[in-house]
Structure 1
Amino acid sequence: MTQRTGSADLPLHGGRVPKWLGDRMTRLGAVMCEAIIHHYGRDELLRRLAQPFWFQSFGAVMGMDWHSSGITTSVVGALKRGLTPLSRELGVHVCGGRGAHSRKTPHELAAIGERVGFDGDALATASRLVAKVDSAAVQDGFDLYLHGFIVTDDGRWVVVQQGMNGDSRVARRYHWLSEGLKSFVDQPHAAIEGQNQGEIINLTDRRAEASRSGQLDLLRTLGPDGIVREFAGLEAAPVPTPDQPLLPHLVMPAHHDVRESDVIMRRLHGNMVAAAERGPSDFSDLLLVPGVGARTVRALALVAEVVHGAPCRFSDPGRFSLAHGGKDRHPFPVPLKVYDETIGVLKSAVAKAKLGRDEELGALKRLDDQSRLVERYVTGPSLKEIVAWEFEQSHLLGGRSVYGWEPAHDPVRTESLKG
């Protein structure tokens, strides 16, 4: 049973993830997945990965450019590196990737299936079909170049794949989940929705059943040469199609900076106030670290929401970039001291939870609960003020970007941010 669960349109960006960030993404992504599995189980992790808004927020909280296509490649790669050593313990396996790695997916699935006991050949066929549907049966102008297949020991899976439209400089990400409908070729998508890139051919729509049957009949009766002759005599005419119900579809803006219009401020203020109120009681030992602890709890409030939040909480992925910044200094350089403490707190919490001691993971859950409680009435600084403060403190927090280490406070730059 297979269902397309949503899609995302993302501006294309070049560049590579620096090793200092990629290594941290690997550790943070893995430990967040461990926390989700501990609280909610493997199936819930798959459901979240299948949700385009959650996936984008997950990448943003890990320090990737909050709006760009690079989140897809980087998150899939980080999960493959981070979860593969834990696959026997967690029962979660990440296959595929970008380019040549995507073509290895069927072989990887067959090998894992032989080791853990599921039908790897059947899943390899599913992998090929999902890729074919989004590249051939649905022709929307995007050429696939990335295919990530995440599967559990019991054979449940999620696919995250991405295509590129070079003319419009936009990538489109497609999410599939192994529950829902019964056929890959007859209405596997609840809908297909996105910015208009011209006419779309969708042969998986149930209304196209006659077309699919007709194409097979033509092939049998006319052969390839006869079809070409018939096609040459036809005049193309646009055919209106009725509206389809909408899947979750994320469209990220072209601007690189995080703007107040990109963030639900009451939620951000709720995160900040919850960190200030819960932090001293739940993370007192952490707050003994001079100048770092309180800021780390603010990051943990956003990480806790990614672990525990409902799908409706991720309509503003840009907000989650306020946890650990971005590699290109948007909204601010990555504060490595904060990032490393976030990983340390989560690893400690998960390790203790495996021994039956859930106090620290419980503290993260209370942090998320408090955020939702107080966001209804709290107010706080503007986004420009928050970002300006981050730049002022960046050199103290180990601020780093692809441009290098952040220097000491520059009053001229801060004033321009405030303006």
Structure 2
Amino acid sequence: MAQRAGSADLPLHGGRVPAWLGERMTRLGAIITEAIVIEYGREEMLRRLAHPFWFQSFGAVMGMDWHSSGITTSVIGALKRGLAPRAKDLGIHVCGGRGSHSRKTPAELLAVAERVGLDGGALGRASRLVAKVDSAAVQDGFGLYLHGFIVTDDGQWVVVQQGMNEETRQARRYHWLSEGLTSFLDDPHAAIEGQSTGEIVNLADRRADTSRQRQLDLLADLGPDRIAREAAKLEAKPAPPAPQGELFLPHLTMPAHHDVRAEDVVARRLQGNLRAAAECGPRDFANLLLVPGVGARTVRALAQVAEVVHGAPYRFGDPARFSLAHGGKDRHPFPVPLRVYDQTIRVLKSAITRAHLGHSDELAALRRLDAEARRLEVAADDRLVETVIAADIARSHDYGGMSVFGPEPPLSSVRPGRRPLR
């Protein structure tokens, strides 16, 4: 059976991803994916996408709003654009998306299947069943509006889809993984993300098998009209309390506040990232650091990207930490440092290119950077997070800071009290 990995609260956010960020997310997402495939294989990339905590951290390191539902749409969109030109080489294909794009998923899967020799009909059926289970069999109050289906040349797949509850202004993300999946109706989810909003009817749980059979029996014995009358009588009665601890998964709570606070970050892990960048950067990136524009700040971002590539699942419980690599489009925790972002992409692209040519020294340096970050983790000062954010805000203009509000002006040109928020 597919393993459940947990859940998380996702506040609904509106707005669009600006073109300057969307283009960079496309490039960075594709390069990170390629690095994971080179190091660990295609199946491992699918497992990462099926892990809700990693998925949220992946979006945060790319400059999206670290805690919001928008990460789902933007990550799926970035991967679809970025991996399309690499599909033949990587063997990974991204289909579907938000709204009308989700309804095109079966046709896109058929096209992929014809190119690589898969059973397109079976993939389309899986896509429709996944959507039906999460929209009808799991009655949790969230209406689906996004369906992303990622499939490999081997026929393995992961589905990431999301629903919204307009009343509570919350989103719920569902993760499916074909690896180990033997039934669509007995605990099929790899994970469900979202806040519990009350009693949930989950007919996709193996414990609901008897209930499913009784529903079919009722339909045959009573017919739909009598069932509707009996249901109306039951709705007038108070519902019994739901059993404690049943059918709910542990979940990561993504807070409503947009700013990154100390309590959102595991400070000792951040300390490890910072110390590894300071101690390993000069040794492993000696030639790189001589290039104008690449310095300690870029190596710090690379340390967090390296963790996204190499980190163990337990390390992604604080997605906010990964927003400290490239900031956020809404200036939280700080404006996106475009110069740093572009240098991160350039370094990773160089490492991937050299790896394809048989030279893995730069990819190995990233792996060592991540290993050192874990080794160097120590108890950190309570104000470490605030200190890091303040330093990036102070140098935002120097780093080419950009947000949905436009380019960051020099600090000297901003009146006191106006810079932290707009």
TM interval, short-chain normalised:
over 0.9
SS at match of 1:285: helix
- Greater Cα shift, 253-262 or 224-233: 224-233
The corresponding residue for 1:222 is: 222
SS at match of 1:204: coil
Q: In the TM superposition, what are the counterparts of 1:31-46 in structure 2 within 5 Å?
A: 31-46=31-46
SS at match of 2:270: helix
Inter-CA distance 103–304: structure 2 relative to 1 (3 Å threshold): same
Q: 1:265 aligns with which of 263, 267, 286?
A: 267
In the alignment, the residues of structure 1 paired with residue 180 and residue 348 of structure 2 have an alpha-carbon distance, to the nearest angstrom, of 33
Q: What root-mean-square deviation, in Å, do the aligned CA atoms of Structure 1 and Structure 2 show?
A: 2.2
In the alignment, the residues of structure 2 paired with residue 364 and residue 314 of structure 1 have an alpha-carbon distance, to the nearest angstrom, of 18
The corresponding residue for 1:155 is: 155
Unaligned runs of 5+ in 2: none
Inter-CA distance 186–26: structure 2 relative to 1 (3 Å threshold): same
* Amino acid aligned to 1:256: H
Q: In the TM superposition, what are the counterparts of 1:181-330 in structure 2 within 5 Å?
A: 181-189=181-189, 195-234=195-234, 236=237, 237-238=239-240, 240-241=242-243, 243-244=245-246, 247=249, 249-290=251-292, 292-330=294-332
Q: CA deviation at 1:91?
A: 0.3
Q: CA deviation at 1:381?
A: 5.9
Q: Which string of whole-angstrom CA distances, capped at 9 and with x for unpartnered residues, describes residues 19-72 of structure 1?
A: 000000000000000000000000100000110110000000000011111000
In the alignment, the residues of structure 1 paired with residue 330 and residue 358 of structure 2 have an alpha-carbon distance, to the nearest angstrom, of 40
Answering whether residue 143 of structure 2 is matched by residue 134 of structure 1, we say no
Q: Point out 4+ residue stretches in structure 1 off by more than 6 angstroms.
A: 190-193
SS at match of 2:65: coil
SS at match of 2:277: helix
In the alignment, the residues of structure 2 paired with residue 164 and residue 192 of structure 1 have an alpha-carbon distance, to the nearest angstrom, of 13
Inter-CA distance 165–413: structure 2 relative to 1 (3 Å threshold): farther
SS at match of 1:168: coil
The 8 Å contact of residues 106 and 127 in structure 1, kept in 2 or not, is answered as: yes
Q: In the TM superposition, what are the counterparts of 1:18-417 in structure 2 within 5 Å?
A: 18-189=18-189, 195-234=195-234, 236=237, 237-238=239-240, 240-241=242-243, 243-244=245-246, 247=249, 249-290=251-292, 292-376=294-378, 382-410=384-412
* Amino acid aligned to 2:338: L
In the alignment, the residues of structure 2 paired with residue 383 and residue 413 of structure 1 have an alpha-carbon distance, to the nearest angstrom, of 22
The 8 Å contact of residues 94 and 149 in structure 1, kept in 2 or not, is answered as: yes
The 8 Å contact of residues 175 and 189 in structure 2, kept in 1 or not, is answered as: no
- Greater Cα shift, 139-148 or 189-198: 189-198
The 8 Å contact of residues 327 and 401 in structure 1, kept in 2 or not, is answered as: yes
In the alignment, the residues of structure 2 paired with residue 228 and residue 333 of structure 1 have an alpha-carbon distance, to the nearest angstrom, of 54
- Work out the percentage of aligned pairs sharing the same amino acid: 70
TM-score, with structure 2 as normaliser:
0.93
Q: CA deviation at 1:198?
A: 1.8
In the alignment, the residues of structure 2 paired with residue 375 and residue 369 of structure 1 have an alpha-carbon distance, to the nearest angstrom, of 10
Q: Which string of whole-angstrom CA distances, capped at 9 and with x for unpartnered residues, describes residues 132-186 of structure 1?
A: 1111101111111000010100111111111001011111111111123421113
* Amino acid aligned to 1:172: R
The 8 Å contact of residues 25 and 78 in structure 1, kept in 2 or not, is answered as: yes
- Greater Cα shift, 135-144 or 207-216: 207-216
The 8 Å contact of residues 52 and 249 in structure 1, kept in 2 or not, is answered as: no
Q: CA deviation at 1:379?
A: 5.7
In the alignment, the residues of structure 2 paired with residue 337 and residue 369 of structure 1 have an alpha-carbon distance, to the nearest angstrom, of 26
Inter-CA distance 296–190: structure 2 relative to 1 (3 Å threshold): closer
Q: CA deviation at 1:415?
A: 10
Q: CA deviation at 1:3?
A: 5.4
